[in-house]
Structure 1
Amino acid sequence: MKVALYARYSSDNQRDASIADQLRMCRLHAEKEGWQIVEEYSDHAISGSSLLRPGIQALIADATRGRFDLILSEAMDRLSRDQEDIAGIYKRMSYADVKIVTLSEGEITSLHVGLKGTMNALFLKDLADKTRRGQRGRVEAGKSGGGNAYGYDVVKQFAPNGEPIRGDRAINAHEADVVRRIFRDYAAGKSAKAIAVALNKEGIPAPTGGAWGFSTINGNPKRGNGILNNEMYIGRLVWNRQRFIKDPDTGKRQARPNPESDWVIQDAPDLRILDDALWNAVKERQKGNAIAQDTDGLKDPALVNTRRRPKYLFSGLTKCACCGGGYSAISATHIGCSTARNKGTCDNRVNIRRDELESRVLNALRSRMLDPKIFAEFCDAYTKEINRLRMESSAHINRAKAEIEKIDKEEQRLMDLYLKEAISIEAVKQRGDQLKARKAELTDFLATATEPPPLLHLSMALEYRKRVQELYETLQSDNEDNRIAAAGVIRSLIEDIVLTPVDGKIEIDVRGDLAGILTIAAQTKNPAGGRGDAQVKMVAGAGFEPAAFRL
């Protein structure tokens, strides 16, 4: 019996020795049973409420590949405390014919999964409730409910019984001076961007230890985050402003606001850094900025979370080669590196006119796309990739069809054996159900399988050149709707535009998806066929350069 061992502990408050202890006990049990240990998996300081753990993911992957026959762990809650996740692990292991055995529960069955899984889920909820009760108690006692804010140090001290005393904070004099400076500068009329640039130039580290950004200072007034919105600076603790819910698909926590009636507010005068006059001056300016934005139509609250069409042709696609940040508007006509202006951590101060950028890129796209040599080279690589996909797709479809034919023959053979009384009705039913399930699975696959993409038509080159010319001409037309549609097509073919400063001028590198234009050309020749599946992303590499070029 080949066996894999798994161990886990959940928080930094525990220790690596816990992993060693769990594995040691599992080894003793495996030795007693005469099992052969083929691998040991572990996760250190990771909660069992999620499967987003490297150790458990490697365990599941190796189990499905048949590397071992049994999983041995200290207890079922080491594998997972989430009811849905433990049921999923059990289901996958049953399919892979891998047993799960724990030192606490023995061999895991569906009964264990149901009862123990519910108990573990209740344990997590109870633990969360107790944690929140403890946090609330600390806040009501004038202490921090958790985490730390810029401007304060965590005070580490212990009770007479050795238990840590949590929630105490002390003002960090240096960081407090930075907080006062930020508030004074903002109240005096400086923008958050200008404040961030000045702090970065002086080498003052941000709360995360990196560079300051204007969002770190501005934050979100409704959520109470950001330097300018932290009420702890005026000696007021606000807790339970928001709650966090874990996304079941990604495992990431998402913030959700709580109603104001659920907030817990407590005065903490010993944590005050700012006087009320300075705080109120900043709040008045924030309120004035919000009103001005709404009045000018720059912000419509009803449209905050809706996707907007890019204002300019290449909005969001331009990037600085020096820092990787985006290029954005610095005036009505020019764009420049956002990082250089917002944070001051990039030295690229070379700008370019927006209309010049668009003209150079469009003219280059047209000339490069219509170059016969480039098109021939691209078509050669494209055809090779399409042929590979055709072979893979055809092989899967043909195998499925062949297996369905075998299932039909076996079903007939079972019926013949039953009629000859060579097999019982129970055996026929059991095997018949298995065949029926497999046949349904294969039929579903064939119903959704993509047919092999077509090869390039002989006249594709002419159609391709025609479509590129049409796109270019449409962008120059007076018809707004046609221009918007053509702009969308052009944007879909470009991955990004990298701008590099060279001797005071800008060099432009365009990277994109030339295969997309073949799809567009193919759709015009056979609209009903819809050859969108034929699109293949071609990336520039050795010996193949059409997907990226420099202007």
Structure 2
Amino acid sequence: MKVAIYARYSSDQQRDASITDQFRMCRLRAEKEGWRVVEEYSDHSISGASMIQRPGIQALVMDSTRGRFDLVLAEALDRISRDQEDIAGIYKRMRYADVKMFTLSEGEISELHVGLKGTMNALFLKDLADKTRRGQRGRVEAGKSGGGNSYGYDVVKKFDGDGEPSRGDRTINAAQAEVVRRIFRDYAAGKSAKAIAMALNKDGIPAPSGGDWGFSTINGNPKRGNGILNNEMYVGRIVWNRQRFIKDPDTGKRQARPNPEEDWVIQEVPELRILDDDLWNAVKARQKTNTVARDARGIADVRKVNHRRRPKYLFSGLTKCACCGGGYSAISKELIGCSTARNKGTCDNRMNIRRDELESRVLNALRTRLVDPDLFAEFCDAYTRETNRLRMESGAGIDKAEAELKRIAREEEKLMDLYMRDAISIEAVKERGDKLRARKAELQDFLASTDEPPPLLHPSMALQYRARVQQLYETLQSDDETQRIEAAEIIRSLIDRIVLTPGEDRIEIDVQGDLAGILTLSAQRKNPAADAAGAQVKMVAGVGFEPTTFRL
């Protein structure tokens, strides 16, 4: 019986040793049952409420379809998942793959376990969430913080009469409180949030996260009550339960949902007041009236920033500033510039570039520069030789294993023949037969788990590259939006990053791409804009196969 062990510990059990303990207990049970452990999977510090963000369980499910093991062993069913839908889905996939599930707590898992334990685990999660919220509400009503710490305050660490840690106590941090007052005074005087952030960065004042200040840290979201300008604790008032969080069933990520105002819990804490009412009211008045105001550089105010959905351009997220490493973003309809320089003032790169010029130069380079005969032929030759070497090594291992299996079969026949002629004792037959069967099982497992070697590559495939990229380039001009999006994604997949370096009179563009991925694109025989999205495969084969860089 080939066994795969799965272990997990959640964020409320921050102990790496928990994984080791689960593996150890499962190995002991496997040894007792005579099972052979062939794989181990784990997820560290990840909740069992969703399997979407858990690479360990995803790999387990994927490998089950490949016949790598016959049984999944875990400490308990709630280690695999606490979500009813996920447990049922995993169980269904394992049954389809003819893989059994077994836990130390429940034994062999059946439909009954899936139904009852799934319900119990779901109730446990709900009860845990309810208890947490009750505790938070109790702390708020006692004049304490119900969640994380806010800028301007320090956490007070102390213990109650029973020796248990007392949570939620805060005290004013004098230095940070003065920064808060400065921000409110500057904003009330007419300065924009971006100008305030740049001044704080210039003076070397660390942001709440410890890095640089940004305008969004100051503006926040008035409806959600976050951001420096919207924190009511600064006027001695704690507002709790403004919003709730619900997990997206498709992504597993938490999404904020606002609660009705009548559900808010508001508690006065005058001892935590930092601002007077006049300054707070002046800032609130300006926030209400300046909903469409713009600062000196034409950047929209907080309402515009929060509600405008910017379109995704061809190279969005790929362009980086060589000076600070930050990203480039749209500063107008035609221009893009360094976001750090414009929003934080900690970068000196003030040179902008037209978006259409950047796209044109990069696309032309992909069509021409990367098909330089010397560069491409050299890489393709090295890539082909390395791939074929790996293929031959893999093929040789498979051929050797198959040949040894045939030899074992002949030896087994020879043993039986010797026994039938009384030329060897039954003890000797058994001893030698056990060794042959053990080796035979190892070889069969090796062949079952070894993928077929990749097909041979031919250097002439590089000749297809220009046609493929040209086809993608033409598809970008198509009237079919679906085809344009797919073509854009394939082109983006050829590029790791685009580094923009300001020069004396123009911006230098360094494009870092994956030549192995380019060869993959070249080998495709179908329309890449329609069939190849997501088909990129990176190959790392040692020196000489690093992502290539060329300058425009």
TM-score (norm 1): 0.66
Does the residue aligned with 1:150 lie in a helix, a strand or coil?
Answer: coil
CA deviation map 1:424-443 (0-9, x unaligned): xxxxxxxxxxxxxxxxxxxx
Alpha-carbon offset, residue 341 of structure 1 = 2.7
2:67 pairs with 1:66? yes
For residues 88-107 of structure 1, what are the structure 2 equivalents within 5 Å?
Answer: 88-107=89-108
Does the residue aligned with 1:133 lie in a helix, a strand or coil?
Answer: helix
- Structure 1 pair 115/499, CA: closer, same or farther in 2 (3 Å)? same
CA distance in 1, matches of 2:62, 2:528: 37
Alpha-carbon contact 1:101-1:108 (below 8 Å) kept? yes
Alpha-carbon contact 2:242-2:260 (below 8 Å) kept? yes
- Corresponding position of 1:276: 277
- Corresponding position of 1:194: 195
CA distance in 2, matches of 1:365, 1:210: 35
CA distance in 2, matches of 1:69, 1:488: 42
CA distance in 2, matches of 1:36, 1:71: 12
Does the residue aligned with 1:113 lie in a helix, a strand or coil?
Answer: helix
| Amino acid aligned to 1:206 | A
- Corresponding position of 1:430: none
| Amino acid aligned to 2:238 | L
Alpha-carbon offset, residue 2 of structure 1 = 3.3
- Corresponding position of 2:345: 344
- Structure 1 pair 327/35, CA: closer, same or farther in 2 (3 Å)? closer
CA distance in 2, matches of 1:130, 1:509: 54
Does the residue aligned with 1:290 lie in a helix, a strand or coil?
Answer: coil
- Corresponding position of 2:210: 209
- Corresponding position of 2:508: 507
CA distance in 2, matches of 1:206, 1:108: 51
Alpha-carbon offset, residue 235 of structure 1 = 0.9
Alpha-carbon contact 1:138-1:145 (below 8 Å) kept? yes
| Amino acid aligned to 1:6 | Y
For residues 155-304 of structure 1, what are the structure 2 equivalents within 5 Å?
Answer: 155-290=156-291, 292=293
Alpha-carbon contact 1:7-1:23 (below 8 Å) kept? yes
CA distance in 2, matches of 1:181, 1:31: 67
CA deviation map 1:57-108 (0-9, x unaligned): 4444444443433233222112211111111221222233322222221111
Q: Which moved more, 1:362-371 or 1:71-80?
A: 362-371
For residues 317-356 of structure 1, what are the structure 2 equivalents within 5 Å?
Answer: 319-327=320-328, 336-349=337-350, 351-352=351-352, 354=354
- Structure 1 pair 148/309, CA: closer, same or farther in 2 (3 Å)? closer
- Corresponding position of 1:2: 2
Q: Which moved more, 1:12-21 or 1:156-165?
A: 12-21
| Amino acid aligned to 2:85 | E
Does the residue aligned with 1:248 lie in a helix, a strand or coil?
Answer: coil
Does the residue aligned with 2:290 lie in a helix, a strand or coil?
Answer: helix
- Structure 1 pair 171/300, CA: closer, same or farther in 2 (3 Å)? closer
Alpha-carbon offset, residue 11 of structure 1 = 3.3
Alpha-carbon offset, residue 508 of structure 1 = 3.7
Structure 2 segments unaligned to the other structure (5+ residues): 388-459, 522-526
Alpha-carbon contact 1:219-1:229 (below 8 Å) kept? yes
2:50 pairs with 1:50? yes
| Amino acid aligned to 2:106 | E
Alpha-carbon offset, residue 532 of structure 1 = 4.0
CA distance in 1, matches of 2:75, 2:186: 58
- Corresponding position of 1:406: none
CA distance in 1, matches of 2:60, 2:499: 41
For residues 446-465 of structure 1, what are the structure 2 equivalents within 5 Å?
Answer: none
- Structure 1 pair 94/284, CA: closer, same or farther in 2 (3 Å)? same
Alignment RMSD (CA, Å): 5.2
Alpha-carbon offset, residue 117 of structure 1 = 0.5
Structure 1 segments unaligned to the other structure (5+ residues): 389-454, 475-480, 520-528
CA distance in 2, matches of 1:368, 1:24: 52
CA deviation map 1:116-163 (0-9, x unaligned): 111111111111112112111211111111111111122222222232
- Structure 1 pair 317/130, CA: closer, same or farther in 2 (3 Å)? closer
Q: Which moved more, 1:28-37 or 1:283-292?
A: 28-37
CA deviation map 1:230-251 (0-9, x unaligned): 1111111111111111111221
Residue identity (%):
68
For residues 126-165 of structure 1, what are the structure 2 equivalents within 5 Å?
Answer: 126-165=127-166
CA deviation map 1:485-536 (0-9, x unaligned): xx999988787864312346432456899x99xx9xxxxxxxxx99744789
CA distance in 2, matches of 1:100, 1:466: 49
- Corresponding position of 2:119: 118
Alpha-carbon contact 2:292-2:304 (below 8 Å) kept? no
Alpha-carbon offset, residue 320 of structure 1 = 2.4
Alpha-carbon contact 1:313-1:358 (below 8 Å) kept? no
CA distance in 2, matches of 1:196, 1:231: 20
CA distance in 1, matches of 2:77, 2:150: 38
- Corresponding position of 1:33: 33
| Amino acid aligned to 1:272 | R
| Amino acid aligned to 1:197 | M
Alpha-carbon contact 2:5-2:74 (below 8 Å) kept? yes
Does the residue aligned with 1:245 lie in a helix, a strand or coil?
Answer: strand
Q: Which moved more, 1:93-102 or 1:246-255?
A: 93-102
Alpha-carbon offset, residue 170 of structure 1 = 1.5
Q: Which moved more, 1:19-28 or 1:334-343?
A: 19-28
| Amino acid aligned to 1:184 | R
Alpha-carbon contact 1:369-1:375 (below 8 Å) kept? no
| Amino acid aligned to 2:141 | E
- Structure 1 pair 158/16, CA: closer, same or farther in 2 (3 Å)? farther
| Amino acid aligned to 1:179 | V
Alpha-carbon contact 1:368-1:374 (below 8 Å) kept? no
Alpha-carbon contact 1:314-1:358 (below 8 Å) kept? no
Does the residue aligned with 2:245 lie in a helix, a strand or coil?
Answer: strand
- Corresponding position of 1:400: none
| Amino acid aligned to 1:148 | N
- Structure 1 pair 250/190, CA: closer, same or farther in 2 (3 Å)? same
Alpha-carbon offset, residue 336 of structure 1 = 4.2
Alpha-carbon contact 1:370-1:465 (below 8 Å) kept? no
- Structure 1 pair 363/61, CA: closer, same or farther in 2 (3 Å)? closer
CA distance in 2, matches of 1:215, 1:300: 8
TM-score (norm 2): 0.66
- Structure 1 pair 361/136, CA: closer, same or farther in 2 (3 Å)? closer
CA distance in 1, matches of 2:73, 2:361: 64
Alpha-carbon contact 2:487-2:528 (below 8 Å) kept? no
Does the residue aligned with 2:500 lie in a helix, a strand or coil?
Answer: strand
CA distance in 2, matches of 1:174, 1:144: 20
